[in-house]
Amino acid sequence: MGALPNFRITTFQAGSGTTIKLVGELDNAACAELLARFEQVAPNAPELVLDLSEVSFIDSAGMRAIIAIEHRVAERSMSLTISPPAAAVTELLQVTGIADHVALSPRVDEAPPRSPFIERIELDLPRNPSAPGLARAEVRAVLPGRISASDRATLTLLTSEIVTNAVIHPEPGVEGSVGLRITAYPDRVRVEVDDDGSGFELQDLPPRPREAGGHGLIVVDGVSSRWGTSHGGEDQRAGFSVWFELDLDYAPEAEGEVAEPTDRSVARAEG
């Protein structure tokens, strides 16, 4: 079956599994092709990734096809990971309630355009059990009086989760400190944790039930405004980084007060 002009399917091997990548508009006209491709690869694909990251539109028929694939995967005891579409498409699916019927993997949304920061803190934390506590203390000190108690509690939790993850799940052979960078912008706060490891790819993470405990990245996925990973980059001091952003409604500053950007780096890798 030939691909529709506004829809394309490619299939390729990735590690021990198979990826079905969709590009374009997944509507009623494209569903039969998707289901046929699934049946073609399923017999030799115990681990399957359905990559929707370049899907620009999904209607209810398209979502029914994805749900049907989920059911068939469960019947055959296969492993399925569904990489979500772009943020705007995912948001529409969530608003309509359609997304409630499928289990999307952790999302990696594009961050908003960069704007001048208000405050930035960079730390080197020791790779030991004290690191999450030190990180929480720094988050609680960011922009005093301008972040609501609820937002600060959320920031503290998410920061603690990704620092803890870096401490208790180090890559073999990786030593040294854990880098923490907290950057406050006019509309959000971005937190990044990095080290010298090669890291992981989000699409390679196995599906994990949300009701199970001890999965910090599931907490980050469920609560943050957006999150993801990166390998290197001009702002990154190490090889691999996990980051998240939380959109905020800042409390108004005192009348006539103008906040000057602050930037400080602190080394706390002793001990």
Q: Give me the mean pLDDT over the 226-230 stretch.
A: 82
Query: 153 with 232, same domain?
Result: yes
Question: Which CA distances in Å does 169 have to 74, 130, 163, 197, 200?
Answer: 29, 15, 10, 11, 12
**Terminal Cα-to-Cα distance of the chain (whole angstroms):** 63
Q: DSSP 3-state assignment of 66?
A: helix
Pairwise CA distance, residues 239 & 229, whole Å? 11
Same domain, 128 and 254: yes
Domain range for residue 237? 119-267
- Rounded to an integer, the average pLDDT of 220-238 is 70
* 144 and 51 within one domain: no
Instruction: Report yes or no on 111 lying in a domain.
Output: no
- Residue ending a domain, choose from 101, 129, 150: 101
Query: Does 160 lie in the same domain as 222?
Result: yes
CA dist 87 and 195 (Å) reads: 28
pLDDT band for 200, please (50, 70, 90 cuts): very low
Contacts of 84 (CB under 8 A, 6+ apart): 52, 53, 90, 104, 105, 107
User: What's the structural domain count of the chain?
Assistant: 2
CA–CA gap between residue 8 and residue 4 (Å, rounded): 7
> Do 125 and 244 sit in the same domain of this protein?
yes
- 94 touches 58 (CB < 8 A): no
- % of the chain beyond a pLDDT of 70: 66
CATH number at residue 74: 3.30.750.24
Per-residue confidence at 147, pLDDT binned at 50, 70, 90?
confident
| Residue 74 and residue 144 share a domain | no
CA distance 268 to 180: 10
Same domain flag for 177 and 59: no
Supply the CATH number for residue 184's domain: 3.30.565.10
Question: Is residue 112 assigned to a domain?
Answer: no
Domain boundary among 101, 129, 159: 101
Check pLDDT > 60 for residue 247: yes
The verdict on residue 114 lying in a domain is no
148 and 54 within one domain = no
Lowest mean pLDDT among 37-51, 94-108, 196-210, 256-270: 196-210
Split at pLDDT 50, 70, 90, the class of 218 is confident
- Read off the pLDDT band of 81 (50, 70, 90): confident
Pair (93, 227) in one structural domain = no
Q: Is residue 233 part of a domain?
A: yes
Residues 80 and 175 in one domain: no
Domain limit, last residue, from 101, 129, 148: 101
Nearest residue to 205 (alpha-carbon basis) of 103, 63, 86, 118: 103
Segments of 106-215 assigned E as strands: 119-125, 178-184, 188-195
